[in-house]
Amino acid sequence: MQVEAHGVDTVRAAWQLANPVPVGDSSWQAEMLGAGYEQTCKNRLDDGQLVQSDIWSWQDPNNSTLRYWLRGGLHLHAEFSAPRLLDDSPVNVHLVSPAEVSSLLVDVGERFMAMTPGEPCAVFQKLARLDYAVDVAAGDSLPGVISAAMQFRIQNARKTSSYTYPGETSMTRSPSYTFRTYAKGGELEHKLTPKQRKEHVTIIQLAKEKGLTRMEFSDRKRKGLAYDSLQNAPKDFARRLEYGYPGGRVVIKGLDGLRMEIDSLDVSSQRKSSLIAFAVRYAALGRDGMQAAYSKPTFYRQQKQFIEHGLRLDDVCSYEGKLDFNPVIEQLRAA
């Protein structure tokens, strides 16, 4: 497992306007509409009364990842994919350094002030979301690295939820954090248009050959993150990765481990064979593929059988063995 890159992916930031804009002024509203803004929620309920909302949103027509939200004439939020905004490319394979994100935040704030009617003066407040990611060349261990995310522990989380699509993506999340691992080549094939896939066929093929896998930690604390969080992000990721995978190592039991659990069940041999066959196919096709291959009632009936026997179908994986994340942790600490 070799680190290919690490850096920032998605960012959501908040500013406060030093000069409030006249949200109730009809001429200002007309200028906002002319600038491409929309009132996303024209009406809302306040103590049972229907009142007009003053939430305005703007979507970059040339980059689907950049969005603005203006609330109450005082608060601005912007969200963007740092790699896509910096490279102006849909493939999102070049992660962005904290220093580059700092420059992007300045550009995004200045762009808002230049295109918004009135004299808004946006003062940076906090990071409302920060996704830090590591791309690793996992090779044949890609299914195992993805499956490992189901074992990831989030520190101080009272309640977590998780799901996985074998060989595609896995996620463990709490109200404030999300740890997600996914196959980059598969993501590109799924998200890109047929024309874009042709344009970037070499990048997609290389990602598949390397088993390029992205591990991403999303921080969404309600109170937000200080600006310094950018500079500390690599070491924070290393610390959380070491806690999430105690000792930096994970054991993936794979299909053979699941077979052993099924064989130990007190059920008929016919039932065992049926469960194993379904698990093998699930490992090959993933959840979406299985739902396409089976009728909905059949799929959920089979899934229910695993639950009744205390088996986690979503843990099934075509990889079996040990994974060592310590080289990734050490490289992040040295960043």
Nearest CA-CA partner of 248 in 136, 178, 332, 323: 323
- Residue 208 — φ and ψ, nearest 5°? -70, -40
Token pair of 74, please? Answer: 């005082």
C-alpha to C-alpha distance for 324 and 326, rounded to whole angstroms? 6
Q: 264: domain range?
A: 254-316
Q: Looking at the structure, do residues 183 and 229 belong to the same domain, yes or no?
A: yes
Nearest CA-CA partner of 160 in 238, 244, 224: 244
Instruction: Please state whether beta strands 177-183 and 212-219 pair in parallel, antiparallel, or not at all (unpaired).
Output: antiparallel
C-alpha to C-alpha distance for 11 and 92, rounded to whole angstroms? 14
Beta bridge partners of 181: 170, 215
Q: Looking at the structure, do residues 29 and 97 belong to the same domain, yes or no?
A: yes
C-alpha to C-alpha distance for 75 and 122, rounded to whole angstroms? 9
C-alpha to C-alpha distance for 263 and 256, rounded to whole angstroms? 10
C-alpha to C-alpha distance for 238 and 242, rounded to whole angstroms? 6
What is residue 251's predicted lDDT score, i.e. its pLDDT? 86
Residue 259 domain flag? yes
Q: Looking at the structure, do residues 107 and 169 belong to the same domain, yes or no?
A: yes
Q: Looking at the structure, do residues 20 and 112 belong to the same domain, yes or no?
A: yes
Q: Looking at the structure, do residues 203 and 307 belong to the same domain, yes or no?
A: no
What is residue 89's predicted lDDT score, i.e. its pLDDT? 83
Residue 332 domain flag? no
Neighbours of 155 (CB within 10 A): 10
Domains: count for the chain: 2
Q: CA distances (Å), 210 to each of 142, 291, 317, in order?
A: 9, 28, 19
Q: CA distances (Å), 149 to each of 85, 182, 212, 324, in order?
A: 28, 9, 15, 13
What is residue 315's predicted lDDT score, i.e. its pLDDT? 60
What is residue 42's predicted lDDT score, i.e. its pLDDT? 60
Q: Looking at the structure, do residues 106 and 205 belong to the same domain, yes or no?
A: yes
Nearest CA-CA partner of 120 in 189, 6, 35: 35
Residue 329 domain flag? no
C-alpha to C-alpha distance for 87 and 94, rounded to whole angstroms? 8
Q: Looking at the structure, do residues 62 and 171 belong to the same domain, yes or no?
A: yes
Q: CA distances (Å), 110 to each of 9, 33, 121, 123, 130, in order?
A: 21, 19, 9, 10, 20
Residue 118, classed as helix, strand or coil, is coil
Rg (CA), the chain: 23
Q: Looking at the structure, do residues 270 and 132 belong to the same domain, yes or no?
A: no
Q: Looking at the structure, do residues 285 and 205 belong to the same domain, yes or no?
A: no
Q: What is the pLDDT of residues 157-209, one digit of tens each?
A: 888 887 777 778 888 988 888 999 999 998 888 888 889 999 999 999 999 99
C-alpha to C-alpha distance for 254 and 319, rounded to whole angstroms? 5
Q: What is the pLDDT along the chain (335 residues), one digit of tens a residue?
A: 889 999 999 999 999 999 888 888 889 999 999 999 998 766 655 566 655 567 899 999 988 899 999 988 889 999 999 999 998 888 888 899 999 999 999 999 999 999 999 888 999 999 999 999 999 999 999 988 998 888 899 888 888 887 777 778 888 988 888 999 999 998 888 888 889 999 999 999 999 999 999 999 998 776 778 888 888 899 999 999 999 999 999 988 777 777 888 888 888 988 889 888 888 888 777 677 788 888 888 888 888 888 888 876 656 777 888 999 999 999 999 98
* Beta-sheet strands, E only, within 60-121: 67-71, 75-81
What is residue 18's predicted lDDT score, i.e. its pLDDT? 92
Q: Looking at the structure, do residues 244 and 283 belong to the same domain, yes or no?
A: no
Q: Looking at the structure, do residues 170 and 267 belong to the same domain, yes or no?
A: no
What is residue 46's predicted lDDT score, i.e. its pLDDT? 58
Residue 326 domain flag? no
